[in-house]
Amino acid sequence: METKTCTKCETEKSVDAFYLNRGKYMVRCRECVAISRKDYYIKNKPEIAAKRAIYQAAHRKEQYAHTKAWRKRNAEKVKESGRRQYAQNPEHHRKVKAAWAMANVEKIKDFQEKYRLNHLPKMAEKSHKRRAKERLNGIYQVSEKELIKLYSSPCIACGTTERVTIDHIIPIARGGAHSIGNLQPLCLKCNASKNHRTMSEWKFQVLLKRDQDVALRSCN
């Protein structure tokens, strides 16, 4: 096995422990190079940060394109990293996501509208399937008075009166009918969380997730 002595730590190591530079091994081992770089960064942190900020400002578009391309090539790696970070602190990530959503309501609406316009066939197909399902399950007349009462009622899950929507207690996808007896007020957040589950299934899932989060926090 070929070896080489580092001029910094004066330790004889395998050549694999040295970086190659233009076909030749460097005089210092990888470990010593890493220590030197770290020391340099600590001593010159403000200057390095200022230069980095200037470069990023001048090459923002190129960096964005590079990052986007890298994330696309490494989609699975990005997803796995995201799942790992979320599992480490789920409550923090939920709060950050909720805060971002509250601060970017218009941006979210614009994105949703652009998505709808760019995927009209897909959205139309989804709408057709839902209407067909409703007809199969049964559609009954719901009066304007009953609708007003539902929309003006607080969310039966969390009690908020903001962004109240109408939810099907037994989802359309599960055979529920569009009738006043199968409608209830849920805020947009709770409705989206419930999705195609029944209330009992949803509540069980929420409690299970809460217990899992508590267990994760106690382990950290």
pLDDT of residue 207 exceeding 80: no
Q: Where are the domains of the chain?
A: 3-55, 60-88, 140-219
**pLDDT at residue 133 above 60?**
yes
Instruction: Report the chain's terminal Cα–Cα distance, integer Å.
Output: 44
Average pLDDT in the chain: 86
pLDDT at 158 over 80: yes
CA distance 153 to 158: 12
pLDDT value of position 130: 72
**Residue 138: per-residue pLDDT:** 73
Q: Please state the separation of Cα 109 from the chain's center in Å.
A: 17
Residue 203: per-residue pLDDT: 86
What's the count of helices (H) and strands (E) in the chain, helices before strands?
A: 10, 6
Average pLDDT over residues 192-219: 76
In Å, how far are 27, 212, 217 from 208, measured between CA atoms?
A: 57, 6, 14
- In words, the CATH class of domain 140-219 is mainly alpha
pLDDT digits (tens, 9 = 90+) for 55-114: 999 999 999 999 999 999 999 999 999 899 888 888 888 888 888 888 888 888 889 888
Per-residue pLDDT averaged across 19-46, rounded?
Answer: 93
Cα 24 to Cα 1: distance, rounded to the nearest angstrom? 17
- Where residue 23 falls (left for φ over 0; alpha for ψ -120 to 50; beta otherwise) is left
Q: Is residue 218 within 8 Å of residue 195, measured between CB atoms?
A: no
| pLDDT above 60: residue 214 | no
What's the pLDDT score for residue 213?
65
